[in-house]
Amino acid sequence: MLALLIVFFPWISWRLERFLVGSSRLYLFWAQMLALVPGLPGSFLRRAFYWLVFPKVSWHCEIGFGTFFSQPWSVIGKNVYIGPYCIIGKTVIGDGSLIASRVSIPSGKKQHDRLPNGCLTPAREERFEVVCLGKNVWIGEGAVVMADLGDHVTVGAGTVVTKKVPSDCLVVGNPMKIIKKGKGNFLDL
C-alpha cells in the first residue's frame, strides 16, 4: 500500500498529461526513474507503478533494477521474473515466465518505415504490435524477442527471435533455429 501511495503522483501526472496533451512523455520519465530505485523498495515501486498503468499486473512478479517498459501497455502474469536491465515494449507475459537480464522485447518488428529517399521514420504507435509470451517461457541473457512465443518455450542466450515460435520448443541463434521440440527440460543448454 505504501508503494501505491508513493507512485500515485507519478501515475496521476502521466494521466493528466495524457488527458490534456495526448502525450506519454511523463510515463517514460517515471518508468525510467523508477527503474533506477535499487533493492526491495525499487521492486515494490516498479510493481505498484505498472499495476496502476497496465491493464493487468500480478502482485506476484519481480521487475529487476534498470528494467522498464517503453510503452504504457503490457500484461504481467503471476510468478513472472524479469531480470535487470531489460527493455520491454507492448507485451503479454504469461504466468511463470522467467526473463533473464538485458533482454529486449520491442513492440514487434515493424516499428519504422523507410521513405523513398532512404530516410527512416520515427517509431509510430500505430505500427506497434503486442508480443505475446506464453506460460512458463524462459528467455536467456541478452536475447531479442520480436515475435510471439508459445507455452514452455526456452530461448537461448543471445537469440534473436523474429518468427513465431510454437509451444514446447528450444530456440537458439541468430538467425533463430528450433533445435528441440516436445516437452522436456531445455534449461541445461
Q: Is the pLDDT of residue 29 over 90?
A: yes
Cβ atoms of 164 and 180 closer than 8 Å: no
Q: Which CATH architecture has domain 58-180?
A: 3 Solenoid (2.160)
* Between residues 124 and 169, the one the model is more confident about: 169
pTM: 0.90
- Residue 186 pLDDT greater than 70, yes or no: no
Q: What is the 3-state secondary structure (H, E, C) of the chain?
A: CHHHHHHHHHHHHHHHHHHHHCCCHHHHHHHHHHHCCCHHHHHHHHHHHHHHHCCEECCCEEECCCCEECCCCEEECCCEEECCCCEECCEEECCCCEECCCCEECCCCCCCCECCCCCECCCCHHHCCCEEECCCCEECCCCEECCCECCCCEECCCCEECCCECCCEEEECCCCEEEEECCCCCCCC
Average pLDDT value for residue range 52-81: 97
Distance between CA atoms of residues 3 and 99, nearest Å: 23
- The strand pairing partners of 184, in sequence order, are none
How sure is the predictor about 149, in pLDDT bands with cuts at 50, 70 and 90? Answer: very high
Domain boundaries, the chain: 1-53, 58-180
Q: How far is the C-alpha of 137 from the C-alpha of 54, rounded, in Å?
A: 21
